[in-house]
Structure 1
Amino acid sequence: MGFMLSGLMALVLLNVPIAVALGLVAMAAIVTTQGTDMLPNVALVMFEGATNFPLLAIPLFILAGAIMNASSISRRLVAFASALLGFVRGGLSMVVIGASMFFAEISGSAVAGVAALGTILIPAMQRKGYSKEFAAAICSSASSLAIIIPPSIPMILYAVMAQTSVVKMFVAGILPGIIGAVGLAVAAYIQAVRYNFPVEERFRISRVWEAAREAAWAFLLPVIILGGIFGGFVTATEGAGLAVIAALFISVVIYRELTWKDLSKAALDGGLQTAVVMLLVAASALIGTFLTEAQLPQKLAGSIASVTTNPYAVLALLNVAFLILGMFLHSAAAIILVVPIVMPLVTEVGIDPVHFGLVVTLNLAIGQQTPPVASVLIAACSIAKSDIWETTKVNLPFIGALLVVLMICTYVPAVSLALVDLFY
C-alpha cells in the first residue's frame, strides 16, 4: 500500500494526469503481485467500472449545465436573485449565493456554476466597487454549494463507490446545503458592513414579480428534476435525462435563444468534462479491484479499529485526511481513490454511509477552495483576473463558514439524516 501511494504521489508531482497515474500504479501492482497473465483483464475491468448505470447521470447533468450556460437561463436566475436580495447591504454577495443555489439544483457541478455565474456577476461586482479578490472569493465559495445540494455529481460518485443510495444522498444534502448558504450569507454580510459595500437596489415587489415571471420556466427545471427523483417517479439517472430535455425545451422552444452553434459548443464542453471524470472512474475501478483482492481496505480498517472504535474519533481522523487530500486532489479523484479504501472502516465502527457521504462531500467542497489545486477557486480567479493567494486570504471567512457546517454535520448526524429518516 505504501509503495502504491508513493508511486501515485510521485507521478502526480510530475504532472502526470491523475487518471493515468492511477492506471499505471494499478497495472504495476497487478503485474508485481499476479504476473502479466492478468493484464488482458485490465480493459474489461475498466470498461465495466465506467458503465455502471448510476454513472450515466454524470454526463447528462454536465450537459444540462452546459446548455444553461449557453442560453439565457443563468441570466434570468441572476436577475430574480438580484430583485429578491439586492436590497441587503452588500446585496450582490447575496445575489451570488442565491443564484448559485438555483444553478446547483440543476447542474450539480461547482465548476459549471462558477463558469456560468462568475462571467455575469464578477464583472458586475467590480463595477459596483467590490474588489476583484472579494468577487472571486464569494463566487467560488457559493458555487461549491453544488457539491452538497442535490443533484450533486460528487454525491453520485460517492454513492456508486460506497454502494449506497443516490436518492438518499440527495435528500441528505438538502439541510446542509441550506445551512451552508446561510453561513456564507452571514459571512458576506459581516464583510459588507465592515467594508461598506453598496446596496444593489431597493426592494420592490413589482420588480420581484417581473423577474419571477421572466424566470418562471427556469424555475421549472429543479421542480422537474428533484420532484421526479424525490417523488419516486424517476431514478437519478432518468432525472438527469429529464434535465437535458427540459433545458433544451426551455432554451429552444420557450426562450428561443439557443442556436445550433451554441448547442454544439455546449455538447463539446460537456463531453470534455465527462471524459475527464469517466477516465478517472475507469482507472479507479482497476485500482479498486486490486485493493479488494488484496484485502488492503480491510487490513487498514482493522489497524485503525485496534486503536479506536469510537465513531466520532474515526470521523475526526477522516476529516483531517480528506481536508488534506482536498488540497491536492480534485473532488472526483479523492472520492474515487479514498472512499473504497475507508468504507470497511466506516462500516466496522457503525457510521451510517449516508452520513459519511455528507462529511466527505463537505470536506471536498472546502478542498475546492484551498490551493494548490482548488479547481473552483482557480476558475473564479481566472474570470476575475485576480491572484489566487490574495483571493484565498479574502476567502478565509467563507472557508470558515463551510468548516462550521462541516463540524455540525459531522457531530450532529441528525442534520444529515433527519430528512432521510423522515422519508425512508
Structure 2
Amino acid sequence: MIVLLMFLALVAMVCINVPIAVALCLTAVFAIVIDDGTGALVTIALDMYNGARSFSLIAIPMFVLAGAIMNATGITRRLIAFVTAVIGFVRGGLAMVNVAVSLFFAEISGSAVADVAAMGSIIIPEMKKRGYGAPFSAAITSSSASLAIIIPPSIPMILYAVAAGTSIEQLFIAGVIPGLIGAAGLMSVAYYYAAKYNLPTEEAFNLKQLRKTFFEALPTFSLPVIILGGIFGGYVTATEGAGVAVVAAILVGAWYREIDWKQLRLAMLEGGIQTAVVMLLVAASVLMGSYLTQARIPQQLAAGILDVTTNQALIFLILNVFFLVIGLFLHSAAAIILVVPIIVPLINQAGIDPVHFGLVVTLNLAIGQQTPPVASVLITACSIAKANIWEVSKANLPFIGVLLFVLFLCTYVPSIPMFLVETLYR
C-alpha cells in the first residue's frame, strides 16, 4: 500500500512541475517516516552525500566541459568544414555531414543535449540557408545527437554503470558498432529524402579543399585517439579519461589560438547546471533506492515477472516497452537513476548480461529524447531551428524508425553490441 502511495505522490508532484529530484526526495522521506519514524531522518543528509560522491560520476562535468571548450575554440567549425569537403558533394550531403559531426562531437562531450546545442547552432542555420526545410534540419540534428550518446563516452552509460554496478569501459565499447550502424541508417534516410525532394549538393569534390580542411582539422582528430585510446588501451579509467579530454581540448584550442570567452563561459555555466541537476538526482535516488531495497520491491518485481515468463526475449520485450513509455515522461538521467536499481535484480535472475542490457536501456532513452512531451533533445533542436515541434516530430519519424531498428538489432542479436566486448575484455 505504501509503495502505491509513494508512486501516486511522485506522479502528482511531477505533474505539477516539482523538480524530479525534489519529488524523489520528498517521496522517500515520506515513506521512511511512515515506516521507521522521524528518528530515521538523522542520517539522510550523509546518505545523500555519500551516494553522490562516486568517483565515476566525476566524469560527467569533465566531459561536458570538454565539449564546451571544443565549441568555443573553433574545433566544431573546422570539423564541419572537413566533413563537408569529404561528403558534401553527395546530394543531401550537408545532412550526412550533420550525422558524422554529431558522432565525433559526442566522442568528446558524451551528452546529446550538449551536442545538439553546440553543433546545431552552427549547422542548422547553414542547412536552412541551403534550402533544407527547418523541420527536416531540426529532425536529423536531433536524432543524430541522440544516436551519438551510445558512442563512447556517454553520460547516460556512466550513470547506468554506476547504478547497475557494471563496467563503464565495457559499456562504452559495446556502443561502437551499433552507433556506426545507426549512423549509416540515418545517412541512408537522409540520402533518400535528398533524392526524392531534390535537396542541394554542396560544392563539387575538390581534392585541394579536402587537403586544406584535413590539415586544419588534424589536431582535432587527436582528441578521440587520445581519449578513447587511453580508455580502451587500459592506460586510464573512464573517469580519468574525462580529465584527459579536458586537457586535450584545451591544448587543441590553444593550438588554434581562437577562443570565444563569452561562449565558453555560458557553456560552462550551462554544463555546471546540467551536472548539478544530475547530481541532485543521484543523491535523491539514494534515499529512494535504500527504502525500496529495504522493502524488497526490486526482488518482488523480479519474482513477479519471472513467474509470468523466464524467456529472455519476452523479458526484453516487456522492459523495452516499459523504458520507451517512461522515456516519454522522464529525462534519461532521471529514468536511469530511478528505474535501473529496481530492474537490476530482474536482469541478474534472468541471466541477462548487464552490459548488453545497459546498451538497450541507453538506446531506449535515446529514442525517448525524440518523443514529446519531454523530448529534451528534440525541443532544443526545434528552438535552434525556430520550427514547430509537431512538424519536426513528423519529419523525425523515419529517423526514429532507424533508432528503433538499431534497438531491435541490439536487443535480439546480442553479438552485434557484444562482439567487441567479448573480443577485448572477456
What TM-score bracket applies, with the shorter chain setting the length?
over 0.9
1:278 and 2:279 matched:
yes
Q: 2-side partners of 1:34 and 1:184: how far apart?
A: 52
Shift of 1:263: 4.1
Q: 2-side partners of 1:64 and 1:188: how far apart?
A: 29
Q: 2-side partners of 1:281 and 1:62: how far apart?
A: 17
Distance 1:360 1:66, change over 3 A: same
Which shifted more, 366-375 or 210-219?
210-219
Aligned residue number for residue 146 of structure 1: 148
Q: 1-side partners of 2:175 and 2:274: how far apart?
A: 23
Shift of 1:184: 0.7
Aligned residue number for residue 232 of structure 1: 234
Q: 2-side partners of 1:2 and 1:344: how far apart?
A: 20
Aligned residue number for residue 174 of structure 1: 176
1:160 pairs, out of 159, 162, 168, with 162
SS at match of 1:386: coil
Q: 1-side partners of 2:401 and 2:236: how far apart?
A: 37
SS at match of 2:105: helix
Aligned residue number for residue 390 of structure 1: 391
1:65 pairs, out of 64, 67, 76, with 67
Aligned residue number for residue 196 of structure 2: 194
Counterpart residue type for residue 34 of structure 2: T
Shift of 1:40: 1.4
Which shifted more, 210-219 or 255-264?
255-264
Counterpart residue type for residue 120 of structure 1: I
Q: 1-side partners of 2:129 and 2:263: how far apart?
A: 28
Q: 2-side partners of 1:262 and 1:355: how far apart?
A: 38
SS at match of 2:381: helix
Aligned residue number for residue 380 of structure 1: 381
Residues paired across the two proteins, number: 423
Q: Is the 8 A contact 2:92 2:200 kept in 1?
A: yes
Q: 2-side partners of 1:123 and 1:411: how far apart?
A: 39
Percent of residue pairs bearing the same amino acid type = 62
Aligned residue number for residue 417 of structure 2: 416
1:82 pairs, out of 81, 84, 106, with 84
- Per-residue CA deviations over 1:256-312 (Å, capped at 9, x if unaligned) read 112554543333222111111111111111111111111110010001100001111
Q: Is the 8 A contact 1:104 1:145 kept in 2?
A: no
Q: Is the 8 A contact 1:23 1:286 kept in 2?
A: yes
Q: 1-side partners of 2:401 and 2:240: how far apart?
A: 36
Q: 1-side partners of 2:238 and 2:27: how far apart?
A: 32
Q: 1-side partners of 2:196 and 2:30: how far apart?
A: 55
Q: 2-side partners of 1:247 and 1:266: how far apart?
A: 14
Q: 2-side partners of 1:115 and 1:265: how far apart?
A: 12
Q: Is the 8 A contact 1:66 1:269 kept in 2?
A: no
Q: Is the 8 A contact 2:147 2:403 kept in 1?
A: no
For 1:239-278, list aligned pairs within 5 A.
Answer: 239-251=241-253, 253-258=254-259, 260-278=261-279
Q: 1-side partners of 2:97 and 2:261: how far apart?
A: 31
Aligned residue number for residue 306 of structure 1: 307
SS at match of 2:328: helix
Q: 2-side partners of 1:163 and 1:5: how far apart?
A: 25
Q: 1-side partners of 2:337 and 2:15: how far apart?
A: 19
Q: Is the 8 A contact 2:331 2:376 kept in 1?
A: yes
Shift of 1:188: 1.0
Superposed CA RMSD: 1.0
- Per-residue CA deviations over 1:16-36 (Å, capped at 9, x if unaligned) read 111111111111111111111
TM-score (norm. length: structure 2): 0.98
5+ residue gaps, structure 1, are none
Q: 2-side partners of 1:208 and 1:309: how far apart?
A: 55
Aligned residue number for residue 362 of structure 2: 361
Aligned residue number for residue 332 of structure 2: 331
Q: Is the 8 A contact 2:93 2:202 kept in 1?
A: yes
Q: 2-side partners of 1:346 and 1:379: how far apart?
A: 34
Which shifted more, 266-275 or 328-337?
266-275
Shift of 1:191: 1.2
Shift of 1:71: 1.8
Q: Is the 8 A contact 2:152 2:175 kept in 1?
A: yes
Counterpart residue type for residue 323 of structure 1: L
Aligned residue number for residue 43 of structure 2: 41
Q: 1-side partners of 2:99 and 2:276: how far apart?
A: 29
Counterpart residue type for residue 250 of structure 1: V
Q: Is the 8 A contact 1:105 1:222 kept in 2?
A: yes
Q: 2-side partners of 1:2 and 1:397: how far apart?
A: 38
Q: Is the 8 A contact 2:99 2:141 kept in 1?
A: yes
- Per-residue CA deviations over 1:73-104 (Å, capped at 9, x if unaligned) read 11111111111111111111101001101101
Aligned residue number for residue 348 of structure 1: 349
Aligned residue number for residue 218 of structure 1: 220
Counterpart residue type for residue 72 of structure 1: G
- Per-residue CA deviations over 1:203-230 (Å, capped at 9, x if unaligned) read 2222222111111111111111100000
Which shifted more, 240-249 or 392-401?
240-249
Shift of 1:2: 2.3
Q: 1-side partners of 2:100 and 2:110: how far apart?
A: 15
Shift of 1:385: 0.5
Shift of 1:9: 1.0
Aligned residue number for residue 102 of structure 1: 104
- Per-residue CA deviations over 1:107-160 (Å, capped at 9, x if unaligned) read 111011101111111111111111100000010001112320000000000000
Q: Is the 8 A contact 1:89 1:189 kept in 2?
A: yes
Q: 2-side partners of 1:144 and 1:70: how far apart?
A: 22
Q: 2-side partners of 1:275 and 1:57: how far apart?
A: 13
